[in-house]
Amino acid sequence: MVLPERQVRRSRRQVLLALAPAIAVCSAFAAPPVIEIEIREHLFYPPEVVIPADTKVKLLVRNLDPTPEEFESYELNREKVISGNSQAVIFIGPLPAGEYPFFGEFYPKTAQGKVRVE
């Protein structure tokens, strides 16, 4: 049985209206943006990352050195030891605009960086 064009359009509209709340909920739970940071020769690369204000962000920190390093930030209230040649995930935010320094506790003179929130 073939439906008239008008009935097909009305059925599509009803389906879209019924799915609208589910689509809105899925959008609200979208994955946070991922920012990658590397530790090489006891330095953070890049030394500064920029993230949007009021947004939860996933930092993927890869330690390419053979020795462990501790990602530490008093302003972000985060600390995490990352073994040599491994990686860790650190969630930050949502944060207001500003600058949030971080450092490597085991090599604090060289391993320094900051998160700039705009």
Q: Write out residues in the chain with pLDDT < 70, as ranges.
A: 1-13, 15-20, 22-29
Q: What is the CATH number of the domain that holds 78?
A: 2.60.40.420
| Range list of β-strands (E), 1-118 | 34-40, 43-45, 48-51, 57-63, 69-73, 78-82, 86-92, 98-104, 112-117
Do 38 and 26 reside in the same domain of the chain?
no
**pLDDT given at position 11:** 65
Do 84 and 38 reside in the same domain of the chain?
yes
Do 1 and 42 reside in the same domain of the chain?
no
Rounded Cα distance between 59 and 47, Å, is: 13
Do 81 and 23 reside in the same domain of the chain?
no
* Boundaries of domain holding 52: 34-117
Structure tokens at 87: 């990686």
Do 17 and 40 reside in the same domain of the chain?
no
Total tally of structural domains belonging to the chain: 2
Do 66 and 90 reside in the same domain of the chain?
yes
Do 54 and 7 reside in the same domain of the chain?
no
Do 113 and 79 reside in the same domain of the chain?
yes
Do 22 and 53 reside in the same domain of the chain?
no
pLDDT, tens digit, for every residue of 44-66? 999 999 999 999 999 999 999 99
Structure tokens at 69: 């390093």
**pLDDT given at position 45:** 97
Do 109 and 52 reside in the same domain of the chain?
yes
Predicted TM-score of the model (pTM): 0.75
**pLDDT given at position 15:** 60
